[in-house]
Structure 1
Amino acid sequence: MTGPTTPGDGEDNPPVPEGGQTLQGLLSILDLEPIEVNIFRGRSPDGGPQRVFGGQVAGQALVAAGRTVPADRHVHSLHAYFIRPGDPAVPIVYTVDRVRDGRSFTTRRVTAVQHGKAIFALSASFHHVEPGLEHQVPMPDVPPPEELPTMHDRLFEVFGRVPRFATWHPIELRPAGPLSFEVEHDPQLRTTRNLVWLKADGRLPDDPLLHVCLMTYASDMTLLDTVLLAHGRSFSGISMASLDHAMWFHRPFRADDWLLYAQETPVAGGARGLARGLVYTRAGDLVCSVVQEGLIRVVEDAPRG
């Protein structure tokens, strides 16, 4: 995997703190080091959060699986469990189990290990392209990304600055609805839907595996926020962690073109919340489906609007 050819300009963003990860840096992190047959080593960005971002380990695991599969077979589904928090200070070792190589489908199982223990497990299925029946639900009606402020602009309006957590991901986000920080102070904004345009902040090579791995990374960024939107909470006083994650890839797409991530939450309870999302191209093609359950534990009373 190589780096982007054209960096995002971000010219309409307010100043952001230094130390965030660039797209070039993310692509470097996804470019795993092969250390033995079916064994790869990954790393985390320097100066990042105190635990490994879930989208990172999921994206790296999918890279490991994909590198053991013929190029003419493309991932169509993945199912993953987050077992333990990842330590960003040490490498992550990914071991690939070649479960099956059939005439139409290839199955891989990947385990991510740190400190001698499994922190993440992924199963992925790959399929060669075949014709068949086609249908999809239509894309929601939403303003185009050019008519929406950037996430940095929105956060700057709320906080008077751009918090450092908003700089770690080289994915440009343009929410079409309220942010959890806004809903916390205005209960009338509560919603069970979360519509966000997203894309990689720069141009990418044409490698199809790279684009699905970038989407896997980005899919973990805003999904559980949808549960907070339904309850008028932000991250204050909340402990959150991804528990499991599933994705289905329906059609080819580019992660460096605008994609609409239409998310909703059908239920929360028992300190867990469920969220699901559909990913559309600008042309309205449904290219990916996502479901995630996460830990959402109230650890202290947070300010209410």
Structure 2
Amino acid sequence: MANSTLFDPPPLDDSKAPIENVLELTPVTDFGQDVFTNTRPLWHPPGARGIYGGAAIAQSLSAAMRTVPADFAVHSMHCYFVLAGDSAIPIFYHVERVRDGRSFVTRTVQARQRGRAIFTTTLSFSRVNSGGEKMLEHAVLKPGVPLPSSPSSEPGGGPFEVVKAGIVNRNGEPADKKIRYLFRARGPISSAGGYQAHLSALAYISDSRFIGTVAQAHELARFASPAELRKFLNALKNPSDLDDEDIKRVLAELKEEEAVDLRHRLQGHLDRAEEEKSKLQPGAANENKTPQIGMMVSLDHSIYFHNPRAFRADEWMVSEMESPWAGEGRGLVISKIWARDGTLIATCTQEGVVRLKQESKI
């Protein structure tokens, strides 16, 4: 039987935040100077084809940062999800030192399983304070979203706390909607992890609910029935950052989220019922069924880190997601992330496959 890690995982380090334990890497010197592997099993989310993509993003970033001088900080990474990652076997992260310049450093990372690339990313690092004394500066302002008043994370649960913060233009066109979340790592993140641990944590959470924004903008349910939820639960493998109670909590949150969206959709359908009924022609009923998501998979993911040392991932951050385009069975989403003090710390983009269930032809 395959093992989910190359080496037996050490005990959890209580001096570190849960996300630090989740993302811990182990060097594999027998394979090369810049090869690393996941220290602990990785999470396979409900309904996903493989491991949570944010883990591959964050661990690739962490691996690359280990090969870069301390006075350089990442400013961008561009990722492609090539194959679904299998949580039942180890992942090997191979870092290539592409270029070391005076102002910029470039790295590529390939995450591999069974000798094949499942994920690849190119990262660029810039020397800290290399912009000069005079610089052009501007940034989008943080939305006026009230932050929770709790001073610190409660123990237990997954590595992040996530709170829905509303939808702007909820009754508007899909391209005009903005979906907001608040999130923070359950912490505190250790001082030993340095600012790199906060960057890796941000990279991890940046993939959460991202391509799902396309479905939300169209008010389409991800889960069509309790039976589908049960199927997704059965698909869970090696949920290292979730215990049984956490899994139940995740499913409860998903059910509640679906219920809220369903109520909103039903109200809209009721408002249009008479109008739609009058337009229906004999034999056209099947053409007016509410569409359902058939497949939703991330293809690529980019992060622009604007202020890599100006935030803490264990403090509340604000995310605002929008989808400017969907078509050809794909969708594009843009996310902006602000720190608690209003600093714009990252802009992310993601494109993914978003296909509807097709009616079977008789």
Is structure 2 residue 70 aligned with structure 1 residue 71?
yes
Aligned-pair CA distance for 1:5: 4.6
Letter in 2 for 1:39: V
Match of 2:302 in 1: 246
Task: State percent identity of aligned pairs.
Answer: 39
Q: CA deviation at 1:48?
A: 3.9
Residue among 4, 27, 33 paired with 2:20: 27
SS at match of 1:62: helix
Which stretch of the first structure deviates more once superposed, 241-250 or 125-134? 125-134
- 1:143 deviates by 2.5
Aligned counterparts of 1:175 and 1:109: Cα–Cα separation in 2: 34
Q: Where does 1:35-184 land on structure 2 (aligned, <5 Å)?
A: 35-36=28-29, 37-42=33-38, 45=41, 48-49=44-45, 51-130=50-129, 131=132, 132-146=135-149, 169-177=158-166
Change (3 A) 1:46 1:268: closer
Residue of structure 1 in register with 2:209 after alignment: 222
Unaligned runs of 5+ in 2: 1-11, 224-291
- The answer (yes or no) to whether the contact 1:3–1:205 under 8 Å persists in 2 is no
SS, match of residue 203 in structure 1: coil
Q: Which residue of 1 aligns with 2:282?
A: none
Unaligned runs of 5+ in 1: 7-22, 151-166
Task: Give the match's secondary structure for 2:166.
Answer: coil
Could you tell me whether the CA contact under 8 Å between 1:199 and 1:258 is conserved in 2? yes
Cα distance between partner residues in 2 of 1:283 and 1:235? 34
- 8 Å contact from structure 2 (residues 213, 322) kept in 1: yes
* Equivalent pair of 1:263/1:277 in contact (CA under 8 Å): yes
The CA deviation at 1:224 is 1.7
CA separation of 1:227 and 1:4: change in aligned 2, threshold 3 A: farther
CA contact (8 A) 1:192 1:266 kept: no
After superposition, the CA RMSD in angstroms is 2.6
Q: Whole-Å Cα distance in 2 between the matches of residues 47 and 118 of structure 1? A: 19
- The residue identity in structure 2 corresponding to 1:61 is S
User: What TM-score does the superposition give when structure 1 sets the normalisation length?
Assistant: 0.77
Question: Could you tell me which amino acid in structure 1 is paired with residue 301 of structure 2?
Answer: H
Structure 1 equivalent of residue 324 of structure 2: 266
Inter-partner Cα distance in structure 2 for 1:127 and 1:53: 28
Equivalent position SS for 1:80:
strand
Cα distance in 2 for residues equivalent to 1:224 and 1:293? 7
Partner Cα separation in structure 2 for residue 88 and residue 44 of structure 1: 10
Contact 2:106 2:122 in 1 (8 A): yes
TM-score by length of 2: 0.66
- Name the CA distance, whole Å, in 1 between partners of 2:304 and 2:137: 15
After superposing on structure 2, the runs of 4+ consecutive aligned residues of structure 1 that deviate more than 4 Å are: 2-6, 187-191
Cα deviation for residue 227 of structure 1 reads 1.1
For the residues of structure 1 that align with 2:13 and 2:337, how far apart are their CA atoms?
24
CA 1:243/1:133 → structure 2, altered by over 3 Å: closer, same or farther? same
What is the total number of aligned residue pairs between the two structures?
A: 258
Structure with larger Rg? 2
Q: Could you list the per-position Cα deviations for residues 70-121 of structure 1 after superposition, in whole angstroms to 9, with x for gaps in the alignment?
A: 1111111100000000000000011111000000111000001101111000
Could you say which structure has the higher strand fraction?
1
